[in-house]
Amino acid sequence: MANNPYESAMTQLKRAAKIINLEPYILDILKRPVRILETGIPVKMDDGSTKIFQAYRVQYNDARGPFKGGIRFHPSADLDEVKALAFWMVIKCAVVNVPFGGSKGGITVEPKSLSLRELQQLSRGWVRAFARYLGPKKDVPAPDVYTNPTIMGWMADEFGQVAGEWQPAAFTGKPIALGGSQGRTEATGHGGFLVVEALIKKLNLNKERTTVAVQGFGNVGFYVAKKLHDAGYSVIALSDSKGGILDKRNHGMDPENVMRSKKEKGLIGGCYCAGMVCDCENYQKISNAELLEMEVDILIPAALENVITAENAGRIKAKAIVEMANGPTTPEADEILRQKKIVVVPDVLANAGGVTVSYFEWVQNNTGEAWKRAEVLDKLKPIMENSFEEIWGVSIEKKIDLRTAAFALALQRIAEAIKARGL
Ligand code: GLU
């Protein structure tokens, strides 16, 4: 079965629209993006040849405020994926009630195959291609899979040059030196951690006895795993795109040590290190597929979409899934998980800490302020906790799963904005 992320997104939309009796014209507006931008970006490669890279920006809806969403550099990035991700940004911003619409960008590229110079040329090319549609009050990009603050710094610089003035609020997730916000890099992981803390209270779990498996060891997977470990949870399984490790001893692994060994050895599955002592024998190597089906309390997919499907959902043994990736669960898998009474905290809530701190960065850039890390994380906490409570409440009241509840809440807010504009 083909798992087209855009079809999945539209299935989720229609399901929630039905439950809240969304007006058909609002549903029709949300079934398509406002604007699709697509082009080829030429890059002069180090070997003297010129390569053209396929690039996208999908501006999905801006009823609630400027378009907002990350840019993904990935070999499998395509239009349907970017459309789905842009739509999920619309819902996500409404879930946490930040005054943004939703968009997403992408370039079809294996960024690891580029030199730093080629990567910078490509990043600047993306901005030049779409600049007239970007800006603090139009569309504000940010990092996503395989993009980072360094890339946002180049992009913000390019935008300033094209616009003829420095506009820090045009991009978020920038380096601190260029007006980036303290706490932005860890924000998505921190938000996920706050969601897990709220969830275990509802499930009556004790964190010292709660086991966690995290798929994905990028910025999001690393920080959520680290924060859970530091708070006393047992992170017993971790993986990256090449494979994973399992360690059930002594409250699991310290992600900081795993990161160190990943940096030294290049991939997860080298050695598991505690402090200076490395253990290359006692941990067990596992595949990404095995990680998803492990017997743990909380499973955290934090990599890419479509990893929990009709094919493997029946074998999932976790009590709860906290989606830190965007779109990791297909609608067919959702149905199976519902029947198995596995609680799924949806991406549009669980990973919304990132865009929330992007909003804080935008506010700081617009006002010329620079908040301290503690202030940023203190402001994030009530937003994540209250959003979780609200959605949990809707799910109980309407007897629906958390994803549908989150969509229902978001759709009501979006519909209100569309109506208020008199469209
Ligand atoms: N790419 C992140 C996401 O999917 C962050 C988006 C942003 O900060 O605008 O939520």
Ligand 1 site, CB within 6 A: 68-70, 92, 142, 144, 172, 326, 351, 354-355, 358
Give the pLDDT score at 268. Answer: 72
d(CA 58, CA 312): 31
The string of DSSP codes covering 240-309 is ETTEEEE--STTB--HHHHHHHHHHHSSTTS-EEETTEEESSSSEEE-HHHHHTS--SEEEE-S-SS-B-
CA of 371 to the centre of ligand 1 (A): 20
Give the pLDDT score at 278. Answer: 64
Give the pLDDT score at 274. Answer: 58
Amino acid code (one letter) for 103: S
Please say if the pLDDT value at position 276 is more than 60.
Answer: no
User: With pLDDT > 70 as the criterion, what percentage of the chain qualifies?
Assistant: 95
* Tens digits of residue pLDDT in 213-259: 999 999 999 999 999 999 999 999 999 988 888 987 768 888 998 88
Cβ atoms of 133 and 55 within 8 Å: the answer is no
3-7, 141-145, 224-228, 266-270 — which is least confidently predicted?
A: 266-270
d(CA 200, CA 234): 13
Please say if the pLDDT value at position 190 is more than 50.
Answer: yes
DSSP state of 171: -
Give the pLDDT score at 137. Answer: 98
Q: Which of 71, 82, 89, 363 to mutate to test the pocket of ligand 1 (most atoms within 8 A of CB)?
A: 89
Q: Please provide residue 243's backbone torsions phi and psi, each rounded to the nearest 5 degrees.
A: 150, 180
* Tens digits of residue pLDDT in 103-157: 999 999 999 999 999 999 999 999 999 999 999 999 999 999 999 999 999 999 9
CA of 108 to the centre of ligand 1 (A): 18
The two three-digit tokens of residue 34, written as one number: 């406002």
* Tens digits of residue pLDDT in 298-334: 999 999 999 999 999 999 999 999 999 999 999 999 9
What atom in ligand 1 is closest to the CA of residue 355?
8
Cβ atoms of 411 and 90 within 8 Å: the answer is no
Give the pLDDT score at 305. Answer: 94
Q: Summarize the confidence of residues 38-47 as an average pLDDT.
A: 98
Verify whether residue 18 is a known catalytic residue. no
pLDDT bracket for residue 1 (50, 70, 90): very low
- Candidate list 83, 104, 226, 319, residue with the active-site label: 104
Give the pLDDT score at 267. Answer: 67
Give the pLDDT score at 362. Answer: 98
* Tens digits of residue pLDDT in 340-370: 999 999 999 999 999 999 999 999 999 999 9
* Tens digits of residue pLDDT in 67-86: 999 999 999 999 999 999 99
Give the pLDDT score at 77. Answer: 97
50 conformational bin, left if phi > 0, alpha if psi -120 to 50, beta if neither = beta
The two three-digit tokens of residue 326, written as one number: 């965007």
Beta bridge partners of 56: 38, 106
User: With pLDDT > 90 as the criterion, what percentage of the chain qualifies?
Assistant: 88
d(CA 190, CA 223): 7
Q: Which residue has the higher pLDDT, 423 or 283?
A: 283
pLDDT bracket for residue 260 (50, 70, 90): confident
CA of 412 to the centre of ligand 1 (A): 22
Please say if the pLDDT value at position 277 is more than 80.
Answer: no
Give the pLDDT score at 178. Answer: 98
Please say if the pLDDT value at position 275 is more than 60.
Answer: no
CA of 250 to the centre of ligand 1 (A): 34
Question: What are the binding residues for NAD(+)?
Answer: 188, 219
Considering the chain, what is the average pLDDT of its residues? 95
Cβ atoms of 60 and 102 within 8 Å: the answer is yes
Give the pLDDT score at 417. Answer: 98
Residue closest by Cα to atom 7 of ligand 1 = 355
pLDDT bracket for residue 399 (50, 70, 90): very high
User: What is the set of domains in the chain, with CATH numbers?
Assistant: 44-169 (3.40.50.10860), 186-345 (3.40.50.720)
- The helix, strand and coil proportions of the chain, stated in percent and rounded to the nearest 5, come to 50, 20, 30
Q: Please provide residue 46's backbone torsions phi and psi, each rounded to the nearest 5 degrees.
A: -60, -30
